[in-house]
Structure 1
């Protein structure tokens, strides 16, 4: 689902065309919004010099046609394309934006596509030049062009398997869309803790901390345990994560005790508030009734724990029946296959992300090398004059950095076109893997949870049978 809007960009009063173009394109390419330019693509222009290239084409258009720009003239167009939260990835959103721009302009206008990921909803800023590539014509806006653009955007979204916005009557229109809250660093830590316990419950608190470190988190021990991920600026205390994730709650989870999580919002827990809204719980781990009785919880709690066990194992049996996994060996094999598939997809995702970063860096080096080679050759003819180097320090430094990068590259240096083709291929594979990854993660969690429930239940049954046999033996004596 994508909401689209066509916005003419006008020449402002008392400002030059170059200034106006730079302001618009700089906002679209903002590093903080596009993950340092990772989600910026372009057609027939370079994103780093797009404002200059647009201006050069416009000046050439003025020479060819004799029409000079006037105040409030349209100098470029922007397409704003916003996607439904959680329905697409930044890479796919950028690809959809590129296809939208290409089909809308029919390849006759240069453009950039900048995908912003700083908000809960991913959205594109597509800026295309007012004049055509040959500087002979200009874009002609037409009546109901916004409706045509929306139809084209919906068509491309459907081709990518996304939903479209349903038609509504004027009385049903809303002034503003409410988007869900974007996940925070605390959410990431809570998800990781849940994943650790779903895979294999740690035997001790130290083993739990080592599992956090094994997943790339730095642990600071002291009066309060704090953790910090690679992209975090500050350490976050476990006690700030809310009920179910504090040091005491982690120790209870290790001991298979029950934790009453009354709120998903840690701020409510810190303030002592109780959330009224309840969420549906997943299949819970079967309780160890014997350990609960040993801790003197009382007969009332024992009765509740037995009822809880019955409900939990009933859900598990229904799940296993639907999946055709009535045999424990089949369940174990299915859980292992799901885990292996999840690990493979996760590893492949990391490989693709690393290669995409390499391609981006190599592409920039090739561009820098080509752009600064002429200056370097002049520097060489001047016998590496120090004054000349100081005057052209930046391009010469970029040239040397590019040469150093080429020396480290294994094999012949590919062309920009080859790199772009590989980049697009990897992005497509990453999008496909991401869809499979979400399904595999859900399947793995369900199977591991069911396996854990069965093991707890069968273990409890075996213990009860042993106690019964032991009592019979004592009676016979």
Structure 2
């Protein structure tokens, strides 16, 4: 189960964009939270130079488009937080899942950094993506209900990786300040919600409801689409729109609830499993410690059902003897491991290509600045470097990457992109096999474990029967 949310990052008045980005990305990469930086990955930017690359893209965007906003209105990056259920995923897999989420959500059009934090009980990813696109011609459009798009992608990725998903997500959570005020009993929303709940059962029409709310001391504003309240007599400054209280407090919902008692939500019982998957047989003896006869009866019924599912699986898949089951289990497990290894190799090469492509682009963008720096006199170099620190760092990082690449002639961006697309297609095809083999491997491993358990039970029963026969003969 993974929960996701998105937060715009604004520039700060009085501070440079680069300084703000550095502070935020440094927090994301905090070594104490990311296993010394091992749980940090990035796309089209270096983890160590991400803030410089983000800042440089803003300068290019402003120069090419002529657009510039006031700091309080200028979104320089976006933060997506992806939180996982404790114990359900490893930090390494969480980082890969965060990378997939960011790549799919941004469509590969924005640089991003993924930092997986393990300092809390729940593993969570900080995904920081640049608001400016890779070509520096426009910015990300944070459309209404963006979080719903993220949630859909996130849920699908979780299902594909065998993680649980919240099937009926709750309404949007409270802001911390609102939550804290509710705890102290000073929340205007909480008070308005309780007042509406108390008034609705006592009135018979919408006009009576509005009149009753005015008697409670509330000022009311009504428009064609909104209904708002304010308790000015107690110091409330702003109106609260009723629809922000929840789905039961929109004008339409209020009209439907008039004259009806308040329905208290019941605690739902955990749903019973109704899937066709084969589960492992449970060891009755080891689980009966301190339990009653009812639990023992449940265990026996559970094991009978799972034994029947195991038999059905063997029949449906024409597995007629144990050696065939063992051989098929080993074969599927081997193919699963091979496919997983191939996907990792594709991903590794894709990361290399993306890194090299990034450096080639950065090198081209900053070449003129670096040439000007080299031509500057010794007296001017220090001042020039201070003014163009971000560009020079990117250029020097690109040159180091080219030296490590080892080839005299670098491939073109077009060639790299073609290879990347080919690897991406291969990875997608391999991933379909990976999902099928993972499911088949899990089923076969469970069936084999169940058969092994059933055979052990049979051996124990035969041994006990033989022991009883020997005792009777000895008498």
TM-score (norm 1): 0.49
